[in-house]
Amino acid sequence: MQISVLDLSIILLYMVVVLWIGFYTMKKIKSFNDYSVAGRSMPFALIFATIGASLAGGGATVGRVSFVYETGIVVFLALMGVVISQTLIGYFVAPRIRQMKDIYTLGDIMEFYYGRSGQLVSSIIAFLFMVGVFGVQVLALGRILEPIIGLPFVTLTIIAAAITIIYTWAGGMLAVIYTDTMQFILLVIGIATATVVGLNRMGGMTSIIEQVNAINPEQLAFYGGAWTTSIFIANFLSFLLGEALAPHYIQRYASSEDEKTSRWTTVSFALMYVFLTIVIMVIGLIGFLQFPRINGDMVFVTFIQQYLPIGIIGLTFGALMAAVMSTGSSILNTAAVIFTRDIYGKYINKEATDKIMIDWTKYATLVVGFGGVIISLFIPSVMDLMLYLFQLWAPSILPPLVIGIMSGESLERKVSVHAGTPSIIAGLIITLIWMNLGEPFAIPAIVIGIVMNLIVFYSVHFTSVSKDLPKAS
């Protein structure tokens, strides 16, 4: 055993509590509406916490510390893409999604604008995207537990994933939001405490900067440093667009009690994300100084073990697990709802009752969870997979989704129903091809993919929109 009995007890207590919340909320589930979008009744505080907990997952904690450790604080400006995108989405887009009263998933929105073909293609891509992102969270959980419990990485990955799967399976979106709230509070307290302790041990921020500068000044470059301009652009766009309007955020906008709540919870957390990013950078720089030549994904957990006192270790490990598990449960529930609502309910069993829909969502939760575990065992780095997925999401689903929502007034379709599907496919294929070619001329694949998506979208839109939209009387 690598940590004290007290710290281990705190971690085990945390796991018991989240499982209890899952089975407690199970009793409150009366319909598919409750299970998938929490009855569309969640207030500001709960939506703020669940959005925060979802954004601050394995990629944003373990992965970002690793990123700073290996690359430097140049990542800070790239991460501001998240702040910009969430602010714009919160203010302009999220309220419109909430106004669409019968929205459960991304597929529902895409069907409204682009018909059944747009719905099916986007749902399949979104489902696979969610399975991959859940794999990121499972990998991060294994990395967190590996140094504190004397069991093999694979065993720990399966155990941690199983706990997340069980409470999500039991309580659906209600359980996810309630646990997210507890996990977000724990995350903020734990990471803030760890940072303060680390700063004190290192003699303050000025001392850290001086020591890093003496070893490698490039680690402190806000622009340039280890990144060329094309690499910076690719990463900035990945953070700006890669998680924008991801399926699990759409589910949260739909779960809020009204449009105002959707708007201001998202904007508020976008601003708080700046604070979390700074904290993560500090921990990454401390790791750079104190733990040279270790796996970047292990920096955060090593920092916790070696720098924090007994009791605080358990609290901070619990916070780190909370960050990852909250995002994992969000993604898990969203993927299961996408399968049940967009695939099973519309193509396999159109007459499915509410109870059958809930049952199939639970089955899908187990399947997605298993798939995420398999993926996690075959990827080397939390951040590598996260950025790869981001670079596929932005050039495929995002452009037609945003154009559809923002064209015309709320609940008004001003785009050609035929434009969505070909633009999604074209953007995805050209992005994959450009990646495999090694990104010729140093042009990021995400840029080429988005440009191709927009060219195909507007080519189809302008040649068919007059036939799609009703004529004015």
DSSP 358: H
Asked, for residue 466, whether it belongs to a domain, the answer is no
35 is written with which tokens? 């299970």
- Among 142-146, 206-210, 250-254, the range scoring the smallest mean pLDDT is 142-146
pLDDT of 132 higher than 70: yes
* Among 382, 76, 397, 99, CA closest to 239: 76
Q: Find the farthest-apart pair of alpha carbons in the chain and give their distance in angstroms, rounded.
A: 76
Classify residue 103 as left (phi > 0), alpha (psi -120 to 50) or beta: beta
Query: Tell me, what's the pLDDT at 49?
Result: 85
Distance CA 143, CA 156 (A): 9
CATH code where residue 304 lies: 1.20.1730.10
Is residue 447 in some structural domain? no
**C-alpha gyration radius of the chain:** 22
**How many whole angstroms separate alpha carbon 462 and alpha carbon 344?**
33
Contacts of residue 412, Cβ cutoff 8 Å, sequence gap at least 6? none
Stretch 41-66: mean pLDDT, rounded? 80
The pLDDT of residue 255: 87
Residue 372: band (very low, low, confident or very high) from pLDDT cuts 50, 70, 90: confident
Evaluate the CA torsion angle 50, 51, 57, 61 in order and state its sign.
negative
Residue 8 has pLDDT above 90, yes or no: no
Asked if pLDDT for residue 220 goes beyond 80, the answer is yes
Q: 236 lies in which domain range?
A: 5-377
DSSP string covering 315-328: HHHHHHHHHHHHHH
- Structural domains counted in the chain: 1
The neighbour count for residue 13, using CB atoms within 10 Å, is: 11
Q: How confident is the model at residue 120 (pLDDT cuts 50, 70, 90)?
A: very high
Q: What stretch of H or E contains 356?
A: helix 354-376
Do the domain assignments include residue 263? yes
In the predicted structure, residue 254 carries a pLDDT above the cut 70: yes
pLDDT of residue 57: 66
Residue found by looking up tokens 């040649």 in the block: 463
Q: Is 78 helix (H, G, I), strand (E, B) or coil?
A: helix
Task: Give the model's pLDDT for residue 473.
Answer: 35
Q: How far apart are CA 350 and CA 369, in angstroms?
A: 25
> 37: which 2 tokens?
């979008």
Confidence at residue 90, expressed as pLDDT on a 0 to 100 scale: 92
Give the confidence band of 168 by pLDDT, cuts at 50, 70, 90.
confident
- Name the average pLDDT for the chain: 85
**Closest Cα partner for 341 from 111, 25, 28, 132?**
111
Q: Which residues pair with 256 in a beta bridge?
A: 42
Assign 407 to helix, strand or coil: coil
Beta strand spans in 295-407 (E): none
Q: Is residue 91 part of a domain?
A: yes
Per the domain annotation, does 363 fall within a domain?
A: yes
Does 450 map to a domain? no
Q: Does the pLDDT at position 176 exceed 60?
A: yes
| Residues across the chain | 473
Give whole-number Cα distances, 176 to 95, 149, 169, 260, 371, in Å. 21, 26, 10, 22, 19
- Residue 95: pLDDT over 50: yes
Full 3-state SS string of 146-211:
CCCCCCCHHHHHHHHHHHHHHHHHHHHHHHHHHHHHHHHHHHHHHHHHHHHHHHHHHCCHHHHHHH
Lookup: tokens for 285: 């720089």
Question: What local confidence, expressed as pLDDT, does residue 264 receive?
Answer: 93
460 lies in some domain: no
> Is there a contact between 250 and 93 (Cβ–Cβ < 8 Å)?
no
User: Does residue 431 form part of some domain?
Assistant: no
